[in-house]
Structure 1
Amino acid sequence: MSDLLEEHLIRDIESQINEIKGIEKVLVLSDLHIPFHKKETILNIVKENLDVKLIIFAGDILDCFNVSSFPKEQHIPLHQELKIASSFLKKIDKLTPNIKKIMFRGNHEFRFKRYLMKFKNEFSPFVSDDVLEIVKNGFSFRDERNIRQVVEPLSDNFDVIDSWYFIYKDLVVDHPTSFSKIPMRTCLSTYDYFKNQGVDFNAITIGHTHKTGNVLHGGTLLSEIGCLCEQMDYANNGNVNYTPQSTAYGLYQFKDDKVDVYNSGAKFVYTGSDINVETLKC
């Protein structure tokens, strides 16, 4: 028996026991920034949580590097990035064939929409402005030899939500565009936003900040769930306004359809420092 099959059997038993107890788990992965994602780290997180009922990809799944407005020292064709993303998401799906997956946009996916708006022409109506929808539905492109290449759709396990947030039971998962370098400030602002909109929830988790933290605020669990990507060069170029990012994910346990705030939240993953420390001797 393979290790993966044995792991699936163990997780299936755990899931059945949890179901009897009225417990379910939801895994939240954010800020993968494919093709700059930490591949093995993400796959290991998924393998360790095969008993979850749902996986939510909370924005910035893609980096959309080549259509950003920032100066670039390297060239990554968009079709290549989408091909890499499709392949990687299929690997996750192969590990979790019976688990539903939700994807929604972050500010980096919005780069694609903004790019199409900037260069709008007669062909624009033929192209979806939702880059996650393109990955989900599959696509074709011409390679450097002008040969047509086809990238097959993702499975029906994937749903793309046309929004920057997703609400599951009493958990709000979102990817705001605002940012504060003060820990948990962005999460608190997002909490206020949804409360002011009349949304009733017991936990809220955000991506975008690349920071990690949990805090109970008036009985509600607030979490920032870090990121799952390599540190970009611009974040370590001497600008001290960039604080070091942290590798993390969100894991939420529900008891009778309510978030168990004491057994949920951001989970930090130590993968070593992103900073190259060299000792110089003279």
Structure 2
Amino acid sequence: MPKKEVPVKGFTKVNIARQYRDKWGMEMPTLTLARIMYKENDLAFKNIEDARSVLRGIEGKNNYGCVVTHQAPERPKNPYKLPESDEREWLPYILTGFKKVGILSDIHVPYHSITAITAALDNFVKIGIDCLLLDGDLIDFYGLSKYEKDPKKRSVPDEIDKLGELLNQLNNILKCKLLYKLGNHDERYDNFIMRKAPELYGLPDIKFETLINNRVEGIEFIGDKRIIQANALDIIHGHEFVQGIFSPVNVARGLSLRAKTNAVQGHNHQTSEHSEPNLRGEIKTTWSLGCNCELHPEYMPINKWNHGYATLELDSNGIDFSFKNYRVKNGKTL
């Protein structure tokens, strides 16, 4: 026979359990949350096991007699009782719900190119994008580089403030969704904390995403080197491959050898394209993006860089797409 919920100060045990599960999320183990519930509501529950039983009820793990509102995720089967694993799930980011996407890569604030970004924004405003994908290395984090540094260059706080200014301007101009995929330069901050102050690494208040969210509203971050899937197109920054992209012909050709699918990347600051048909007659194309930063930095003034950006139109069928890769010269889209 189902247990009768006992009102406690206007709340039932089940309501208390639901509030605590909402507050702490489904990631917290049931027993751990039960201990917290009992400690803070010892008049409502007989003991920790009583609190745990109610939690298990709202999670659908027993027959407590209440509505299941917080269905527990199914645990992987382990019939042989193997030791608990720290394996984590690594899933792609699915880019969906948008029709026209603008893509900017390698801005490297505070060494950004105003003329290159302006040329891209002119086109984005003209075609009316509903999403802007910032494909990595928005900030340079020169001061956190492991290489020799010029002490006269901008400080890390200056760089972060300057990036906040840029993102707010992009929000004001485009009035669309902003997605921020972290590149290798963006990751310098959290990596620095991990190396120099690992005891603080888990604190959310000092993470890079928090610093930016405190300055800009509505930014969605894509980290963990996740692949972005936009219909039949895969998007990366370019640092995801541990050994990098081998590009004897051009960057897009190197990406084709590694990705084996339709794909686009930034990172190398060069515009290129490569297409190959497979045995079924399907054409697989890869692209690399130009950058939006200074073209001749002190550490490598002679290079093969160029300015550029891209636009992406997504078909509602979830498969087809149209990709345009633009070069920018002297502030003009080519």
Same fold at TM > 0.5: yes
Equivalent residue number for residue 293 of structure 2: 229
1:38–1:230 contact (8 Å) kept in structure 2:
yes
Distance 1:48 1:29, change over 3 A: same
Equivalent residue number for residue 167 of structure 1: 229
Task: Report deviation, 1:39.
Answer: 2.2
Q: 4+ residue runs of structure 1 moved beyond 6 angstroms?
A: none
SS at match of 2:139: coil
Give 1:36's match in structure 2, choosing from 91, 96, 111.
111
SS at match of 1:35: coil
SS at match of 1:216: strand
2:205–2:211 contact (8 Å) kept in structure 1:
no
Q: State the Cα deviation string for residues 130-170 of structure 1 (Å, max 9, x = none).
A: 52x134321xxxxxxxxxxxxx3x222x2111233322222
1:214–1:265 contact (8 Å) kept in structure 2:
no
Equivalent residue number for residue 161 of structure 2: 83
Equivalent residue number for residue 195 of structure 2: 118
Give me the whole-angstrom Cα distance separating, in 1, the residues matched to 2:309 and 2:249: 16
Equivalent residue number for residue 182 of structure 1: 248
Distance 1:114 1:35, change over 3 A: same
Give me the whole-angstrom Cα distance separating, in 2, the residues matched to 1:120 and 1:220: 44
Give me the whole-angstrom Cα distance separating, in 1, the residues matched to 2:191 and 2:249: 29
Q: State the Cα deviation string for residues 101-145 of structure 1 (Å, max 9, x = none).
A: 1111111112222211221254333356752x134321xxxxxxx
Given the alignment of the two structures, is residue 247 of structure 1 paired with residue 307 of structure 2, yes or no? yes
Structure ID, larger Rg: 2
Give the aligned CA root-mean-square deviation in angstroms.
Answer: 2.4
1:176–1:206 contact (8 Å) kept in structure 2:
yes
Task: Report deviation, 1:259.
Answer: 4.0
Higher percent of residues as strand: 1
TM-score normalised according to structure 1 size: 0.69
Give me the whole-angstrom Cα distance separating, in 2, the residues matched to 1:228 and 1:267: 12
1:212–1:246 contact (8 Å) kept in structure 2:
yes
Task: Report deviation, 1:35.
Answer: 0.7
Task: Report deviation, 1:215.
Answer: 2.3
Q: State the Cα deviation string for residues 237-280 of structure 1 (Å, max 9, x = none).
A: xxxxx53211001112234444445xx232000028xxxxxxxx
Q: What is the identity percentage for the equivalent residue pairs of Structure 1 and Structure 2? A: 19
Give me the whole-angstrom Cα distance separating, in 2, the residues matched to 1:36 and 1:270: 17
Give 1:134's match in structure 2, choosing from 196, 199, 210.
210
Give me the whole-angstrom Cα distance separating, in 2, the residues matched to 1:126 and 1:209: 32
Give me the whole-angstrom Cα distance separating, in 2, the residues matched to 1:269 and 1:248: 5
Gaps of 5+ in 1: 1-22, 139-151, 196-200, 237-241, 273-282
Give me the whole-angstrom Cα distance separating, in 2, the residues matched to 1:166 and 1:130: 22
Given the alignment of the two structures, is residue 213 of structure 1 paired with residue 290 of structure 2, yes or no? no
SS at match of 2:269: coil
TM-score normalised according to structure 2 size: 0.59
Alignment of 1:90-109 (within 5 A): 90-97=168-175, 99-109=176-186
Give me the whole-angstrom Cα distance separating, in 2, the residues matched to 1:24 and 1:104: 19
Give me the whole-angstrom Cα distance separating, in 2, the residues matched to 1:63 and 1:100: 23
Give me the whole-angstrom Cα distance separating, in 2, the residues matched to 1:129 and 1:181: 37
Task: Report deviation, 1:189.
Answer: 4.3
